[in-house]
Structure 1
């Protein structure tokens, strides 16, 4: 059973021979788990004036300055947003996405250089169910939403994708390579289990609880 925050949906995966009634029973038996996840998602960050969101692990307040020009930028613990209020969320996302490209790009290149690995390209995207990927051509994708995660989480996820340059699976050799690149696997995975749905939902409309 998996909650898809931005689709407002719950997915239950079962074998083809399993009757639908079994899935419904499984959903019913795990309703407390689902309710807890829904409460976390309900508390996702909103990109509205005076909201406080994390950037590189540090709180930043969104400040609306309608008379200024320049879109949105980060300055002294604030995200300054110009123009009409209707465009605040979009401009905050654009600002964070551009900042993520700079920060994640620098962190990726630093780790790759130290490890002697050579990714061919970095793409910053907004996937709905994963934080990153690595293609067989060495092209790495990372979610811009990682800019809201602590440094240890970014470090682990970058190490994870770089390790796929050597092992395109999740074999024991792959995890040994991850271990050589980062000591943060357990901490990062625990953080993502707890906070990942909130990051995936950040800046979206509220998810109704019914």
Structure 2
């Protein structure tokens, strides 16, 4: 990104540091900050208004080793392919490409059979998982909402880049489709977490008490997400 200096000249920070970098100028930022964009696999530099290009470059280079280590820990992007075994709502499914069958995507004896061209296999599997996740998570969320005496309006499956779920004031819950690939403890925790927001639109003690009443092993699911959740984001 090229930034304009007070002199009117432009300065390319990415060229100066010598590696790909995303630069964001923020009038609300009080200091220079660095974070890693897991999806784009890029370091992100946030600049306050009054910051010299020289200072920005020095700041980034001082964290070069940290950036390299952080980027190396990001899992490689994955696509569903023939022969893959996935965990879907606690059951193991083996993806089997059956190009000549006209079944679309179908579960059969522990296999997930996918017809059609191989180039569309990932998209077809993903679409199927999202559709089934919507059905299953609606059922689980509805049941949990009834337990705490709350109304659930709708459940939507999203392909979000950083959030596992959300709950609106209109009693709508969104889930990231990737949680369907997580262990059962994670799915149960996420349902308990989002459904509890129907009653408590915060993270107060009352909220966490509600979560644990719905799912006593909530801490197990929460810890798993914290430790291994980023691996699920490797799926496109």
Q: TM-score, normalised by structure 1?
A: 0.83
Give 3-state SS (helix, strand or coil) of 1:201's partner: coil
Match of 2:214 in 1: 181
Task: Say whether residues 1:25 and 2:62 are aligned partners.
Answer: yes
Larger radius of gyration: 2
In structure 1, C-alpha distance between the alignment counterparts of 2:217 and 2:79, rounded to whole Å: 28
Task: Say whether residues 1:119 and 2:152 are aligned partners.
Answer: yes
Match of 1:81 in 2: 114
In structure 2, C-alpha distance between the alignment counterparts of 1:137 and 1:127, rounded to whole Å: 20
- Flag the 1:27–1:167 CA change in 2: closer, same or farther, 3 A: farther
In structure 1, C-alpha distance between the alignment counterparts of 2:188 and 2:117, rounded to whole Å: 36
- Flag the 1:173–1:201 CA change in 2: closer, same or farther, 3 A: same
- Cα deviation per residue 1:34-90 (whole Å; 9 max; x = unaligned)? 433x2xx12x65301111222113332110101111311222221100011111011
CA-CA distance at 1:98 after TM superposition: 1.2
Q: TM-score, normalised by structure 2?
A: 0.74
Match of 2:169 in 1: 136
CA-CA distance at 1:29 after TM superposition: 3.9
Give 3-state SS (helix, strand or coil) of 2:39's partner: helix
- Flag the 1:53–1:15 CA change in 2: closer, same or farther, 3 A: farther
Give 3-state SS (helix, strand or coil) of 2:155's partner: strand
- Cα deviation per residue 1:129-174 (whole Å; 9 max; x = unaligned)? 1111011111111111111111111111111111111221222222
Root-mean-square deviation (CA, aligned residues, Å) is: 2.4
**From 224, 228, 232, the counterpart of 1:195:** 228
- Mean Cα deviation higher: 86-95 or 167-176: 167-176
Number of residue pairs the alignment of both structures matches: 199
| Greater relative contact order (Cα < 8 A, sep 6+) | 1
Task: Say whether residues 1:62 and 2:95 are aligned partners.
Answer: yes
In structure 2, C-alpha distance between the alignment counterparts of 1:177 and 1:76, rounded to whole Å: 38
Match of 2:133 in 1: 100
Higher strand content, 1 or 2: 2
**From 143, 149, 154, the counterpart of 1:110:** 143
Gaps (5+ residues) in structure 2? 1-33
Conservation of the 8 A alpha-carbon contact between 2:99 and 2:114: yes
Higher helix content, 1 or 2: 1
- Flag the 1:67–1:179 CA change in 2: closer, same or farther, 3 A: same
